[in-house]
């Protein structure tokens, strides 16, 4: 038995389609989806459509990510706190392009699941950690070791960090399949994992694929997301182009610049001029290209 494991799609429907096509060609009919399905990339409805096809025609296990929690909580809190602009504009854009059924699906998902099916070894799945969708698990960190010690199964599938890899501690294995939509490293190739059943349990295969990046980059221009969140869209496009993630660096630098000049900073009220300066200082233009002059 083979199982495909997708995480951190972030609305990149072009990358998701490439991963689905690869897996279907391999005869895979079971999928595990680890959350952060939308936000950051344009046309989230296209990603939801592909996820619904998987849910309707294949065996799927799903958990919610922290981005789904953001969207659910925004609705529960009366749709306040987000506005157009690079700080929260991409989140607002995503919310405004989703349907109520999409949000209901997200709300119905657990943050953790133990897969215990007849004929297959147990698997535990989550986005961040089993207890918190926003908690990252990194190799050799205390929370990773504590999590693995308390596993009910021999394997944990988790995402959130976008770093593809495997960590083993006391005979327990944590597998991060990497990010489908905003992958780090490997030149920006889309990333996922395939689990192969064997006599010893599950063996993981890490996959990196080229895909039609230009298709998703073109969507940034046609969708309106670049107007809703100019600098955030630019740094996201840069990640897609290069596999180098500078989102937090650009964000924190914009906040620092705002605080130095104004004496205070409150997210999401970070004027665009600070984002523009931060992009420039990190050598990124508004289309996510590296500035070389």
Give the domain extent around 198.
2-209
What is the tens place of the pLDDT at every residue in 161-213?
999 999 999 999 999 999 999 999 999 999 999 999 988 889 999 999 999 99
What is the tens place of the pLDDT at every residue in 234-276?
999 999 999 999 999 999 999 999 999 999 999 999 999 999 9
Residue 17 lies in a domain: yes
Residue 30 lies in a domain: yes
What φ, ψ does residue 155 adopt, rounded to 5°?
A: -140, 140
Residue 215 lies in a domain: no
Residue 245 lies in a domain: no
Count of structural domains within the chain: 1
Residue 36 lies in a domain: yes
Residue 252 lies in a domain: no
CATH code of 198's domain: 3.60.21.10
Are 194 and 31 in contact by the 8 Å Cβ rule? The answer is no
Residue 249 lies in a domain: no
Q: Helix 230-242 to helix 247-262 angle, to the nearest 10 degrees?
A: 150
Residue 193 lies in a domain: yes
């Amino acid at each position: 038995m083979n199982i495909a494991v997708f995480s951190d799609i972030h609305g990149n429907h072009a990358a998701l389609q490439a991963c689905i096509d690869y897996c279907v060609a391999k005869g895979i009919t079971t999928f595990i989806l680890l959350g952060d399905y939308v936000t950051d990339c344009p046309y989230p409805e296209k990603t939801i459509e592909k996820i619904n096809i998987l849910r309707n025609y294949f065996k799927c296990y799903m958990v919610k990510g922290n981005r789904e929690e953001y969207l659910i909580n925004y609705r529960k809190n009366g749709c306040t706190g987000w506005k157009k602009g690079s700080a929260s504009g991409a989140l607002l854009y995503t919310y405004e392009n989703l349907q109520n059924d999409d949000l209901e699906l997200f709300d119905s998902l657990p943050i953790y699941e133990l897969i215990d099916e007849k004929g297959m070894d147990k698997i535990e799945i989550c986005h961040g950690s089993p207890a918190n969708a926003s908690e990252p698990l990194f190799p050799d960190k205390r929370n990773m070791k504590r999590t693995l010690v308390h596993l009910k199964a021999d394997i944990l599938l988790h995402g959130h960090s976008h770093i593809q890899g495997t960590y083993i501690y006391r005979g327990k294995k944590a597998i991060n399949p990497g990010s489908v939509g905003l992958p780090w490293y490997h030149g920006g190739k889309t990333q996922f994992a395939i689990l192969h059943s064997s006599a010893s349990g599950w063996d993981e295969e890490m996959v990196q694929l080229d895909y039609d990046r230009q298709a998703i980059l073109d969507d940034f221009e046609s969708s309106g997301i670049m107007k809703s969140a100019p600098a955030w869209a630019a740094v996201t496009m840069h990640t897609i182009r290069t596999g180098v993630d500078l989102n937090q660096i650009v964000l924190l630098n914009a906040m620092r610049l705002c605080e130095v000049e104004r004496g205070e900073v409150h997210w999401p009220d970070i004027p665009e001029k600070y984002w523009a300066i931060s992009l420039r200082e990190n050598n990124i233009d508004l289309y996510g290209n590296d500035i070389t002059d």
